[in-house]
A and B are shown apart, each in its own frame.
Chain A
Amino acid sequence: KQEVTQIPAALSVPEGENLVLNCSFTDSAIYNLQWFRQDPGKGLTSLLLIQSSQREQTSGRLNASLDKSSGRSTLYIAASQPGDSATYLCAVCSQAGTALIFGKGTTLSVSS
């Protein structure tokens, strides 16, 4: 059974710092991995989707990498800003015809 783990559970950094969020999964046979952002009490915003054949995806200050063989993905946030404060969730699709399996998230706080 696929399990997704995110470390750390919470992270506090000063504005301007570059940071890395980690996601690991137990079964390397995945179709894709998706990173989301969630603000308190709000829905999820899709940040990046990495297909199984891809190694990384970039969007603005965000870069996500995928290493299927080791069961790991990282989300790199450059030059963090207070507006980046949110919970970041990673999720994997392990089987066609099934839905995503989520990690518990990393709550990020960026102070000005």
Chain B
Amino acid sequence: DTEVTQTPKHLVMGMTNKKSLKCEQHMGHRAMYWYKQKAKKPPELMFVYSYEKLSINESVPSRFSPECPNSSLLNLHLHALQPEDSALYLCASSQDLLAATYNEQFFGPGTRLTVL
């Protein structure tokens, strides 16, 4: 099973709302990622968790707050977003961030976020 699941599929929120995106994998992977993708652009890395610890933060604004409650779950908490934050948010996982040669990434279907 190479499935990464994400909920919700679509989310519309106002600039004063607080919401969360969820990601889950049951492949025993120890690295999990959040990417942001705008239309007709490649994915942009936001955060990487390795063994449930934040390993990479690509200078993401604090209105995005990641959380890794356990090795299978990854959350992205959203607060006071701007309309320009509207995008497809993708979660991915891989076996081990440091096992670079074999580190195949598997992506979820994404959450389409619209900020009004």
Interface residues of A (CB under 8 A from B): 31-32, 34, 36, 41-46, 49, 51-53, 89, 91, 93, 95-100, 102-105
Contacts and interface: CB of A to CB of B under 8 A. Distances in A.
A47 to B, nearest CB: 10
B42 A99 contact: no
A51 B112 CA distance: 32
Given A42-B109, A105-B42, 9 more contacts: A32-B100, A32-B103, A36-B107, A43-B6, A95-B100, A96-B99, A97-B55, A97-B97, A100-B45
A43 B110 contact: yes
Contacts, number: 68
Contact of A32 (B50, B90, B101, B112): B101
Interface of B: 2, 4, 6, 33, 41-43, 45, 48, 50, 55-56, 88, 90, 92, 97-110, 112
Nearest to B112: A41
Nearest to A96: B100
Q: Which residue of B4, B33, B88, B104 has the most chain A CB atoms within 10 A of its CB atom?
A: B104
Contact of A44 (B43, B99, B100): B43
B101 A31 contact: yes
Nearest to A36: B107
Nearest to B45: A99
